[in-house]
Every structure is written in structure tokens, then in C-alpha cells.
Structure 1
Amino acid sequence: MSPLILFSFVIAYFVILLGVAWYTSKNSTNDTFFSGNKNSNWMLVAFGMIGTSLSGVTFVSVPGAVGDFGGAGFKGFAYMQVAIGYLIGYAVVAFILLPLYYRLNLTSIYNYLLQRFGVVAYKTGALFFIISRTVGATARLYLVVNILQIFILDKLHVPFLVTTAVILLMILLYTFEGGVKTIVYTDTLQTSLMVTGLVVCVIFILSQLHLSGGEAISQISDRGYFNVFNYDINSKGFFLKQIVGGAFITIAMTGLDQEMMQKNISVKRLGDSQKNMITMSIILVCVLFLFLVLGGLLYLYTTSKGAAYTEVMVNGKMVKQLLLDGNNILGDKIFPTVAMEMLPPAISVMFIIALISALFPSADGALTALTSSFCIDILGLQQRKDLDDKGKKKLRLSVHLTFTVVFLVCIWIFYKIADNSIIDKILDLAGYTYGPLLGLFAFGIFTKRKLANTFLITLVCLLSPVICYLISMYSTELFGAYKIGIEMLLINGIFTFLGLLLISKKGDHKANILV
């Protein structure tokens, strides 16, 4: 299919999003942008959050990792170990963190740190969120933008930087006014299209292979793709590490993340918000399993068309590749290659729509949440007496535009440095950036100790990731064959907790979770 026709579908999709944004942003205010006037429907939030939680990385990298035995950290169905941890983490968020946020009636969840420890802890927490979400969101954006570039825009001779700028402009336009209220509806639409694309691809490839669901699982298992649990305690993929790491990743990247919680606390009642969280977690794990099944099917399909594993020397190291017509399609490349070059045009269109449906929820929510956090937590916009409503709105729009430019720069950096599989890299980065947030909140919730309102708090939160990085660098010398993996987030959080304990003093403050 002509790349121009494919790109026209992208434009048409964007026009639909603009229409939704126009409808939902009528009579919008700053409160609408930041919290959706706390009147969001929990069912819409739950379904839309699936798209935000999955993103384009899941859409491409999780299926690709199934047969990438030489590269990605989640080969086979090992990602299900992390998904089991997700269920535990979402339960903690629903029944421990959400009650705390609702009781304190928060717009920004980092206001909890202000009430518990003071302004330095508050600003530090918000700063680490801004760093974490900027890095994570732009890494996810890079992957999807790069796929659109390779399969559509390169053929139209459009430079990567222009592609990125246009896509970010699209996202900016439909989130500029409505904020959270708009995103609740656009995420629901986009999740629907993403899941539809996933199901269509699974059904079509099953029909091409002439397999039933049960026969496909059997063949996937016979090829060694169906392995779930890793029992090698020294491996980064050891099942206990993955489950515990998955739980804490959910607690940190959902429960301590303004983007994710901004949508949840826009629901009027705590009970409905908790139903949203549990419902979303169950559906999410089922969808992740379907992505893994799709990954197995993609490898079955490509090998049936002549693709074969081989090992080649790259930079002095033997690397496994999956070659089809002389091209390596292993990892993140396999799904786009099959969908765009080996399946009928209608499926290619469905893939593109599903892919950008996976792209936008992770990007629009991040852009809105970063704007909200910077305005509320860093600039103190809601408390500014020197600005009227018009001035506050102008400042908010300026911040929104600035973060769009920051996204553009970060995506360009990823374009220059990223390799073929990015999902495990994102989780590694999360271990360093979300660890201090985990330590800060845990210290506030589970201890009664006080912290002096000094920059020692910030210093502890900066030193913990540095110590963790050094431990990871010299893990072979320190632990022999043991490799630190997804549990880095927990280790980082523990170091932050212990550092805060050292600089704290005894207090009569009750642990907030018990109030």
C-alpha cells in the first residue's frame, strides 16, 4: 500500500481526536485541565488506562521479545512473571495509596510529601516524577515514531525530526485545552482501537497458519517460546525477582506517578476509583497474555515464510539474529515487518491505527501530567495571588508548549543512541528514576519520623540512584554470577529509605496510612 495512503489514515485519525478534544474542552478551566473537575466516569478511566499502561512499547516490544533469545530480557512468555507482579502492585495502589490520596483531597499526589515532610521533600518528589516520566514517555514515543518513520515517512522523504515535530504538534493541539477531561475520552477511544488491532492481527495470522487457538499454543510451546518461569536465581529473569519487581514497578510507576493517578483521582468517589484500578489490572494482564500469544504467532509465521535464526559477529560479540530475505527482523522489528510487508493492505492499515492508538495515550497523558505537576508542584500555580485566571491559563499553556519541545529533544537523543529492543531498557531506567519516589513515600507512610526541611532530602534521593548504578556496574565483582535486574527499583527505594532514616529524627507524627 502507498505510504501516502497510510499517512492519510494517520491524519484522519488525528482529525477524529481533535473533534473529541473540541467537544470535551468546551467551557474548560484550569481545574478541568488538572483534575477533570473530579467528575470522570470510573469505567472510562479504567478502560482508557489500559492504553496508557501498555503504550507503543508493549505493542511492539512484548511480542518481539518472545523469540528474541539473544537480546531482550523477557524472552519467551517470561513477561507474564512481571504481569503477576502487576496484579499485586495494583492491589497495593488501590487499597493503600488511593485511600490516602482521597482522604487528603489531592490534585497533585506530591502534595502528600508537602503535608508530611515540608516543601523540600515535596519539590524533590515532583522533580523525580518529572525526570522519570519525561524519560519513560519519550522512550516510548521514540519507538513508535521510529516505526512510522521507517515504514511510511522515509518513503515520503520526510526527515525523522520533522516526523517527530508533527506528531508532537498533533498531541499538543488536542490536549492544549481539555487536559485530563479530554484524555479520559481519547484514551478510551484509542484503547478500543489498539485492542481491536491486536485481536484482528491474532485472528488473521491464525487463519494464515491454519491453526486453532489450542494448536497455536501447542506449536508455540514446542518451539520453546511458551516458557514462563525462570528458575535460575542468578539470572536477571529469575521469577521471584520478576514478580517482586513487577509489583514495585506498578506501585512506583502507577501509584506514585502523577500521570496515572491524575486520572484515578479525577473520579468522584474512592470506591469507584478502586473498582477502576482492580478492573483495569485484570483486563491488562489478559491483554498482555494476548500480546505474548501474538508474539509466538509472529515467529511461527515468519519461520514458515523462510526466516531462520543465525549468529553473526557484531562489534566483536556474537549476536543472534532472525534473517528474512537478508534482513534481521528479530525483536522490535518483527511485528512491524510482518504487518506492513507480509500481510494484506487492510491489516497494514489496522496495524498503523492500532500502533498510533498505542502511541497517543502514553504521550498525551504524560504531556498533560508533566504540565500539571510543573505548574502545581514547582511553580505553585494554584496558590499564585499575582495572577488572575487568564494569567494562570497563559502560564499553563506556556509550560505545556515547553514540555513539547523537551519531548522533541529527548526523542532525538533516543534516535541517536537506542538499540533494537527497548522495553527492558525502560524498566531499567525506571529502577533508577522511580526508586527515590518509592523510598520517600514509603518513609512517610510506614514511619512516624520527621525530616528537617533541608536539601539533605534531595541529596539522599540523588545519591541513592548513583550508589545503585555503581552496584550494578560492579555486580560481578560483588556478587559473582548474580545479576541485578528488575529488582533495582526496590534496592534503590531501600537505599533512599535508609538514607532518610539516617537524617531523620523521632517524631510524634502518626503514619499517614493509619490516620
Structure 2
Amino acid sequence: MTPAAVIATVLGYIAVLFLVAWLSGRRADNAGFFSGGRRTPWYMAAFAMIGAAMSGVTFISVPGSVAADSFSYMEMVAGFTVGQLVVAFLLIPTFYRLRVVSLYEYLDDRFGIHSHRTGAWFFFISKMLGAALRVYVVCAVLQLLVFDHYGLPLWANALVTMAFVWLYTQQGGVQSLIWTDTLKTVCLVGSLVLSIVFIADGLGLSARGVVQAVSDSPMSRIFFFDDPASDRYFWKMFAAGIVLLVAMTGLDQDMMQRNLSCATPRDSQKNIVLTAVSQIFVIFLFLVLGVLLYLYAGHTGLELPAKSDQVFSLVAVDGGLPPVVGILFVVGLISSTYSAAGSALTALTTSFTVDILQGTRRCDERRLTRLRRSVHLLMALAMAGVILAFGYLADDSVINLVYKVASYTYGPILGMFLFGLFTRRRIRDGWMPWIAVAAPMLSALVQWWAREAWDYRIGFELLVYNAAFTMIGMFLVSQRHEK
């Protein structure tokens, strides 16, 4: 696939994306930008969330991870499913009852302004790093396919990408995201299924042959019960999946802004349950694709790249398959990236404006619009800068790197919400920032000590330790309060 063909595919998708964003968001006000006006039908939100839960990291890194991790990611997906139920039936009723614009307004109501801003700042750090990592994956692929060919540096790549994201989200916000995520779901799932079909055809496999080849591969092993010290041990992955989903979806302004755009809590719950079921099948197909990619590379004698995240792009673009496979890869990659970056940018703008600057309390509608647009541009520039930083620092499979970052940054948020929901105690609010900073430091210390003393590796479940330290700290500065 030539660089010109990649450019044409990207520009074609962006043209459709801008049209959908303009049609859906041209009449959006601040309420439409922040919450979609709470008028989204539940089935639209559910279909949009199938794509919203998948990013460019899922599209590239999950298939590439099967060589090292087999299908162990499904252990975490099982935890994700339980976590979705927790979000639907515990958090959704609370957020609708309080009618929050930002999730972290709950912390203000429960504990005070310092807790509110602490939660917002930790979300800001979490989402900025996580979103930048996701976009970096795609920028790295586009750098290889296009920008290096024309001698353009990574900084130009990052700026162009974020400029397009900023342009298509600046007006409609959440109101546009529902429709652009629907477009993403169609493109992502369509690209996934058709890629499997074409690669299987390249291997000369029928549908039954695909099932047999995948089941015969050692990479298709799902359950790991033999070594509790391993990062892939089932109960560690399962528990981590529950808490990661609750933290990274239920307590994440980016993901929840779609769920909270539904008219009623009942509609939101139906959308979340349907999303949970769909996620199981889609992620399983990504892992099947991963096995087929490695089988095809071995069958054709392709030299595997140093990073597993580049396996899909290698086979799709340079593997000798029909050109349509390369086009499907680019469409799936671009659709997942622009949607994920756009929703993250909208969520960062919402949280920074509402939680940190307190814009909805201090500004009239006109001033709030100006403030929101200024923050939106600032967030886009900041994300481009973080993408460049990852260009020099990232050296791990990005799906693992995203969850490592989340284990540190979402832990305090999870601990604060759990303490608020399951206790009646009030805290001395001024201590909350110090507790939230201390918890990740103590978690990192425990992780290092367990590895050095017992050769025990704490994996994604580090988030649980992080949240626990936060709750212990909050208990130490709390007192009983009857409401």
C-alpha cells in the first residue's frame, strides 16, 4: 500500500467524519457539548459504546499481544463484564440522582471542594496520559506508512492529527460524539471481520479451518491457574478487570459522558449491559485475528517487527494480501483513533472547565462558551505535546502501558468514590490531595518490595492496592457523620 493510498484513505474517512460531526453538532449549546442534552436513545448510546470502548490500542496492540500473552486478555474481559454491572446498577443511579455534569461533582457534594478538585486533577492526568498513549500508537504507524516517506518528523504528525481532532469536536462535543462513535463502530467492527476473512483466505482456510487453526495454536490458551505469581494468573486478571472497568469506565468522565447522555437511568443501564455483552465477542475476534496474523507471517516468511504493536500493520500493508486489506486496516485504525481522541478531548475540556475552573458556577452562557472553547484548544495542544513525549519514552506493548498508567492514576479516584459510596464518614477535606499523592507512592513501594522479597509480580491488580491505600488514608482523617 503506497503512502498516497494511505493519505487518500485517511482523508476520505476524515471527510465523512467531519460531515457526521457537523450534521449532529451544528446546533449544540453548552449543555449539548457537556452532556448531549440527555436526549440520546439508549440503543444509539449502546451501539456507539461498542466502538467507544475500543481504541487504536485495542485495534493494534491486542492482536499483537497474543504471542506473549496468548488469550489471557479474556480473563480480564470476564472481569470487565462484572465491572459493567457494577457501573450500571451502583454508579448510574447515583449520578442521575445528583444530575451531575461532571462525575467529580459527586466528590464535592460528599466531601468538599478539595476532594472534588483532587478527583478532577487525577482524572485529568489519567486521561491525558491514557489518551496520548492511544493516539501515539496510531501516530507511530502513520509515521512508518506516510510521514517517514516524505521526510516529516513526528511532531508534524502529532500536530496534524490533533488539529483534525480539535476541529471536528470543537462545536458538538458529546452531542456529536454519539454519532461519530456510531460511525467508528461500523468501521472498526467491519474492518476487523473483513480482515479476518481476507487473511484466512490468504492462508487457504475455510471458516471451520480458522476455528481449528486457532484452537490448535498454543497462543489460544485462555485460562492460567498454575502460577499465582504470574501476571497472567486468572484470579489476578479477573479481579483487575473488575476494578479497572469500574475505574476506567464508571469513574471516567470520557466514557460515562455517553452513558449519562441517555434520558433516564433505566435507558443508561440497558445500554451498558448490551455494551458488556458485545465487548466479549469483539475482543475475542481481535485475539483470533492476532493468531491469524502470526500464522500468516510464518506461512509467508515475513520477518516479525521488534514491537508486537506493529504486526497487524506489517501483514495488512506489506504482507502480499489484496490492497483492500491495507485499506481496511487504515480505516479501522483511523476511525478508532479519531473517535477515542475526540471523546478524550471533550471529556478533558468538560472536567477542566466544570471541575477545576468551576466555569458552570461562575460564568453566564456566553462567557462559558468562550471559556470552553479556549480550554478545548489548550487541551488539544497539551495532548500533542504528551504524544511527542511518548514517542521518545514508550518501550512496552502499549496495551500494557495504558493499564500500568491507569493502575497508578485511577487508584485514588476509585478509593475516593468507594469510601463515599460505602461509608457514612466525612473527612477533613484539606487532607485529600496529600492522601491521593501518597497512595500511588506507597503502591509503587509495595510492588517493588513484593518483587524483590518474594519474586511476586503485582500486575494490573496494583489498582486495588492503590485504592486501598487511599481509603485507609481517608479513614485516618475521617469522623462519623450521619446523613
TM-score, length basis structure 2 = 0.97
Post-superposition Cα deviations, 1:251-284, rounded to whole Å, max 9, x if no partner, equal 0000000111111111101111001000011101
Cα shift at 1:367: 0.2
Are 1:163 and 2:157 an aligned pair?
A: yes
Aligned with 2:419 (options 415, 418, 443)? 443
Contact 2:6 2:145 in 1 (8 A): no
Unaligned 5+ segments in structure 1 are 70-74, 308-323, 510-515
Deviations 1:428-471 (A, max 9, x none): 111000000010000000001111231x1111111000111112
448, 451, 471: which is aligned to 1:497? Answer: 471
Q: Against the structure 1 CA distance between its residues 340 and 329, is the aligned structure 2 distance closer, same or farther, given a 3 Å change threshold?
A: farther
Map 1:281-360 to 2 at 5 A. Answer: 281-307=276-302, 324=303, 328=305, 331-342=308-319, 343-360=321-338
**AA aligned opposite 2:446:** I
Match of 1:123 in 2: 117
The Cα of 1:48 is off from its aligned counterpart by: 1.5
- Which residue is equivalent to 1:95? 89
Q: 2:215 aligned with 1:215, yes or no?
A: no
Map of 1:31-110 to 2, 5 A cutoff? 31-67=31-67, 69=68, 75-110=69-104
Amino acid at match of 1:361: S
Maintained 8 Å contact 1:190/1:357 = yes
The 3-state SS of whatever aligns with 1:185 is helix
- Hey, what's the Cα distance between the residues in 1 that align with 2:250 and 2:163? 29
Which aligned pairs between 1:433-472 and structure 2 lie closer than 5 A? 433-454=409-430, 456-472=431-447
- The residue type equivalent to 2:355 in the other structure is D
The reply to whether residue 407 of structure 1 matches residue 402 of structure 2 is no
Alpha-carbon shift at residue 27 of structure 1 (Å): 2.4
Match of 1:260 in 2: 255
Cα distance in 2 for residues equivalent to 1:375 and 1:383:
10
CA–CA separation in structure 2 for the residues paired with 1:282 and 1:195: 15
Task: Give 1:351 shift.
Answer: 0.9
The one-letter code of the counterpart of 1:338 is V
Counterpart CA distance in 2 for 1:90 and 1:112 is 20
After superposition, give the CA deviation of every residue in 1:83-123 in whole Å (9 maximum; x if it has no partner).
00000000000000001111111111111111111111111
Instruction: Indicate whether 1:428 and 2:404 are aligned.
Output: yes
Q: How many residues align?
A: 481
One-letter amino acid matched to 1:498: I
Name the SS of the counterpart of 1:155 in structure 2.
coil
For residues 65 and 36 of structure 2, the distance between their equivalents in structure 1, rounded to whole angstroms, comes to 37
1:420 offset after TM fit, Å? 5.1
Aligned match of 2:374: 398
Between the aligned partners of 1:141 and 1:442, the Cα distance in structure 2 is 31
Match of residue 373, structure 1, among 327, 351, 357: 351
Range with bigger deviation, 19-28 or 58-67: 19-28
Following the alignment from structure 1 to structure 2, what is the Cα–Cα distance between the partners of residues 50 and 433?
A: 25
Q: Which amino acid aligns with 2:324?
A: A
The letter for the 2-side match of 1:152 is V
Structure 1 contact 230–237 (Cα < 8 Å) conserved? yes
Unaligned runs of 5+ in 2: none
Match of 1:313 in 2: none
- Structure 1 residue 8, shift from structure 2 partner: 1.7
CA distance in 2 between partners of 1:506 and 1:330 (Å): 52
Bigger share in helix: 2
1:72 aligned partner: none
Q: Structure 2 CA distance, aligned partners of 1:474 and 1:120?
A: 32
Work out the percentage of aligned pairs sharing the same amino acid.
40
2:22 corresponding residue in structure 1: 22
Between stretches 49-58 and 233-242, larger displacement belongs to 49-58
> What is residue 448 of structure 2 aligned with on the other side?
473
CA RMSD of aligned residues (A): 1.2
Taking the aligned partners of 1:137 and 1:235, their CA distance within structure 2 comes to 28
Tell me how far 1:158 sits from its aligned partner: 2.1
Give the Cα–Cα distance (whole angstroms) in 1 for the partners of residues 396 and 293 of structure 2. 17
AA aligned opposite 1:358: S
SS in 2 for 1:235: coil
1:174 CA displacement: 0.7
DSSP-derived class of the 1:168 partner: helix
Amino acid of the structure 1 residue aligned with 2:189:
V
Say if 1:449 and 1:504, in contact at 8 Å, map to a contact too. Answer: yes
Alpha-carbon contact 1:121-1:453 (below 8 Å) kept: yes
Calculate the TM-score normalised by the size of structure 1: 0.91
Per-residue deviation, residues 33-90 of structure 1 (Å, max 9, x unmatched): 10111111222221212222110001011100111x3xxxxx1111000000000000
1:249 aligns with 2:244: yes
State the distance in 1 between where 2:413 and 2:307 align: 35
Structure 1 CA distance for aligned equivalents of residues 247 and 392 of structure 2: 28
Deviation at 1:200, TM superposition (A): 0.5
In 2, distance between residues paired with 1:498 and 1:420? 32
Distance 1:264 1:439 in 2: 22
Counterpart CA distance in 2 for 1:223 and 1:445 is 45
Aligned equivalents of 2:260 and 2:123: distance in 1?
17
Matched position secondary structure for 2:218: coil
| Superposition deviation, residue 330 in structure 1 | 5.2
Separation (CA, whole Å) in 2 of partners of 1:427 and 1:360: 20
1:164·1:408 contact (CA, 8 Å) conserved in 2? yes
Of residues 114, 128, 136, the one that matches 1:134 is 128
Deviations 1:137-195 (A, max 9, x none): 00011001110111122112222111110110101001001000001100110111011
Distance in 2 between residues matched to 1:130 and 1:330, nearest whole Å: 29
- Which of 462, 467, 470 is residue 488 of structure 1 equivalent to? 462
Say whether the 8 Å CA contact 1:20–1:185 is kept in structure 2.
yes
Deviation at 1:389, TM superposition (A): 2.2
Residues 110 and 126 in structure 1, CA contact (< 8 A), matched pair in contact too: yes
Aligned equivalents of 1:76, 1:63: Cα separation in 2: 10
Which residue matches 2:195? 201
Match of 2:219, SS state, is coil
Conserved 8 A contact 1:85-1:247: yes
SS at match of 1:289: helix
